Structure 1
Amino acid sequence: MTAAAAGRPPRSVMVLTNAAAGAGHAEKAARRATARLREHGIEVLNTAGADPEDAIRLAREAVGRGVDALVTAGGDGMISLALQALAGTGTPLGIVPAGTGNDHARAYGLPLGDPEAAADVIAAGRTATVDLGRATTADGTGRWFGSVLAAGFDSLVSDRTNRLRWPRGRMRYNLAILVEFANLRPLPFRLVLADGTVIERDLVLAAVGNTSSYGGGMRMCPQADPADGLFDLTVVRAMPRLKVARFFPTVFKGTHVQHQEVEIHRTSSLRIESPGITAYADGEYIGPLPVQVEVVPGALRLLVPAGARGADTG
């Protein structure tokens, strides 16, 4: 068992970086965090994958070599890659937030915009054991996720963003929102929950939350607890376009749950169906619906600040 997996401060870590994350800030954040980790006497190996598949390969190799923790410097997309290697292994994940959304970091109270403080959290070796989601597409492909899986209007926006070649950065996403809003229509969904409950109606979206937020602080599942063995499913029923425009700003405060069009369900698994709709989780493409989603309790150990919710005491 590695030092961090046993609840002791890590002696060796791999720092996995996405140099493009956070408009190029991730590489600088990784250098600063690495320097601080070495000040703590921790052996640090820095690496960056040539592409997502290469990043997952490097992460799995690091776990196989027995590093005390795998550290990501980047955003939620880089964390998503790390989860594919870490889930169920007991090797902890350390996070140096350096992306655009940083929703995992928000969920666990990790320091934003301060790589040295993030490194101090990693060096302290405090862990939380948390749940992960597992999404499986119709062809049997499975993918782990840590925050929110989304399908509907928001996944259509992501589809549109990925097709656009101009403009760059956040403006491309904003343009995709405008285009999809202009094309907004009721989306027929069928959801089957673990207890057999069937939800079959026209929706704006369905969001499956292991943690509360996605998209850089959109608190779509505001009461989600990543250590309770359940998802919070937020279902937003179809509504007129003008009402949708007024609805979305309330998501950042989590007050959207007060709208009569919003339903919250808690479930350990569900099947999501909707023709022509894809699913995204942790901001990454999962695949076309239908998708089967389940909670895997305690699948990840995460290095967290003192007093963080779910922190292990032993």
Structure 2
Amino acid sequence: MSRLRVGLLANPTAASGAAFRAGAQVAHVLRLAGISVVDVSGPTAQVARARAIDVRDTLTALVVIGGDGTVSLGADIVADSPVRLGVVASGSGNDFARALDLPVNDPESSVRVLLHALSRPVVAIDAIALSSIREDAPPTRSIALGNVSLGFDALVNQRANRGSHPGPGRYTLGVLQELRRFSPLPYWMEVDGGPREELDASLVTIANTGVFGGGMRIVPDARVDDGLLDLATLTGLGRGGLVRFFPRVYRGTHLDVPGFSVRPARRIRVGLREDRELRSYADGEPRALLPVEAEVLPGAVRILAELPDPAPLVASGPSS
């Protein structure tokens, strides 16, 4: 009998309940494989997190079933521990799974990947620690695995979360709706302890996987195991330029767009130069209001997956 013990955390609301239904299927197949399964799912993320932490020291792995927000919750639970994180992508966007070439909305194939990875050496990936640095608010810290959105992409994420349109198409709809009133935002930022920089930007994204919005590849060559984050910014584009920009992001052919740049960093502080509230989003979920600090946590999460080989850039041209 296998001594492996796996925690199962299914999001009851992801993809209109599809993730929760997939949870029962995943549990059944894992038990057939001789693995002990403990269900830590709960009616809320807070309840599920408490249940998972209560048994974490007894687990070999924690398998999360849902979308990117659920993956982020799982990463927060297992970060800097020996517990490995498994992903059964059953949400709306599933961008983390896309970035790692994991099955999407296919529980049976996902379980095969998990079982194979459990028999293989440990694979560790980086995470993002996102902290509030507001002087008028208590400090907060959360973990993300994919990306942190701090500009137009954050506003679109907010609108998409409020909408009723199902699937990744809600992000595209959010882009079109937000464009009606958007104008570039005045930022300040400090990169790796360097001097404060000022820029007016439409897009500010801190990337680990480089994939968001249901398949947009904002940083096509991002790596989750290089000990670095990628700071992607877009300046000098108005509404019309943004309309033409985002379709190219899906194809990863936007790297030569004037005003778009990517640079590696380990720690980034970002805020606004005016008295306006803007909430950051990470892995599709609302996080702290700006200003915030994002710092890479090298190898913080042990993932049940094999990392894809580095892909060549889709488009030629400068990236910075």
TM more than 0.5: yes
Q: Which runs of 5+ in 1 are unaligned?
A: 1-8
Task: Give SS of 1:255's match.
Answer: coil
Kindly tell me: are residues 172 and 218 of structure 1, through their superposed partners in 2, closer, same or farther at Cα, counting changes over 3 Å? closer
- Establish whether residue 214 from structure 1 lines up as the match of residue 212 from structure 2: yes
Kindly tell me: are residues 177 and 10 of structure 1, through their superposed partners in 2, closer, same or farther at Cα, counting changes over 3 Å? farther
Partner of 2:17 in structure 1?
Answer: 24
Query: How far apart, CA to CA, are the structure 2 residues paired with 1:68 and 1:253?
Result: 37
| Contact persistence 2:12–2:43 (CA under 8 A) | no
CA deviations 1:90-124 (Å, max 9, x no partner) are 20001111111111112222122321221122222
Query: How far apart, CA to CA, are the structure 2 residues paired with 1:111 and 1:173?
Result: 21
| Contact persistence 1:16–1:47 (CA under 8 A) | yes
CA deviations 1:184-243 (Å, max 9, x no partner) are 111111111005154311111101111120122111122211111110111011412111
Partner of 1:297 in structure 2?
Answer: 298
After the TM superposition, which residues 260-271 of structure 1 pair with which residues of structure 2 at under 5 Å, given as runs? 260-271=258-269
Of 87, 95, 107, which residue of structure 2 is paired with 1:95?
87
Task: After superposing the two structures, state which structure 1 stretch, 263-272 or 218-227, moved more.
Answer: 218-227
Query: How far apart, CA to CA, are the structure 1 residues paired with 2:232 and 2:277?
Result: 20
CA deviations 1:30-71 (Å, max 9, x no partner) are 22222221221111122322212112112212313x111100
Q: Which runs of 5+ in 2 are unaligned?
A: 311-320
After the TM superposition, which residues 95-244 of structure 1 pair with which residues of structure 2 at under 5 Å, given as runs? 95-124=87-116, 125=118, 126=120, 127-138=122-133, 139-162=138-161, 164=162, 167-170=164-167, 176-194=174-192, 196=194, 198-244=196-242
Partner of 1:276 in structure 2?
Answer: 277
Query: How far apart, CA to CA, are the structure 2 residues paired with 1:231 and 1:172?
Result: 27
| Contact persistence 1:105–1:111 (CA under 8 A) | yes
Of 61, 70, 73, which residue of structure 2 is paired with 1:81?
73
| Contact persistence 2:234–2:260 (CA under 8 A) | yes
Query: How far apart, CA to CA, are the structure 2 residues paired with 1:53 and 1:140?
Result: 19
Q: CA deviation at 1:169?
A: 3.3
| Contact persistence 2:29–2:111 (CA under 8 A) | yes
TM-score, length-scaled by structure 1: 0.88
Give the number of aligned pairs: 298
Partner of 1:3 in structure 2?
Answer: none
Of 251, 254, 257, which residue of structure 2 is paired with 1:253?
251
Query: How far apart, CA to CA, are the structure 2 residues paired with 1:287 and 1:56?
Result: 19
Task: After superposing the two structures, state which structure 1 stretch, 44-53 or 182-191, moved more.
Answer: 44-53
Task: Give SS of 1:225's match.
Answer: coil
Q: Identity of counterpart residues, as a percentage?
A: 34
Query: How far apart, CA to CA, are the structure 2 residues paired with 1:234 and 1:245?
Result: 18
Task: After superposing the two structures, state which structure 1 stretch, 292-301 or 28-37, moved more.
Answer: 28-37
